[in-house]
Amino acid sequence: MLCHLLRICVVGLALTHPLFRLGKQVQSVDFDVGRRNKLDAAPRGKRKRGAIYLHADSLLCKITCTDGTEFLVRCGMGGTFIEANERLKSNPQLLIDKVMYRDVSDD
User: What is the full DSSP assignment across 8-64?
Assistant: -EE----TTSHHHHTT--EEEEE---SSS-GGG---BTTTTBTPEEE-TT-EEEEEE
- Does 107 fall in a domain? no
Q: Based on the structure, what is the number of domains in the chain? A: 1
pLDDT per residue over 37-93, tens digit each? 888 877 787 777 778 888 889 999 999 999 999 999 998 888 888 888 888 889 998
pLDDT per residue over 8-35, tens digit each? 888 888 888 999 888 889 999 999 987 8
- Does 77 fall in a domain? yes
Query: How long a stretch of residues is the chain?
Result: 107
- Does 105 fall in a domain? no
Q: Position 52: which residue type?
A: I
- Does 29 fall in a domain? yes
- Does 82 fall in a domain? yes
- Does 106 fall in a domain? no
- Does 24 fall in a domain? yes
Q: Which domain holds residue 50?
A: 2-100
- Give the model's pLDDT for residue 98: 63
Task: Give every CB contact of residue 50 below 8 A, 6+ residues apart in sequence.
Answer: 41, 42, 43, 44
User: How far is Cα 41 from Cα 5, in angstroms, rounded to an integer?
Assistant: 23
- Does 92 fall in a domain? yes
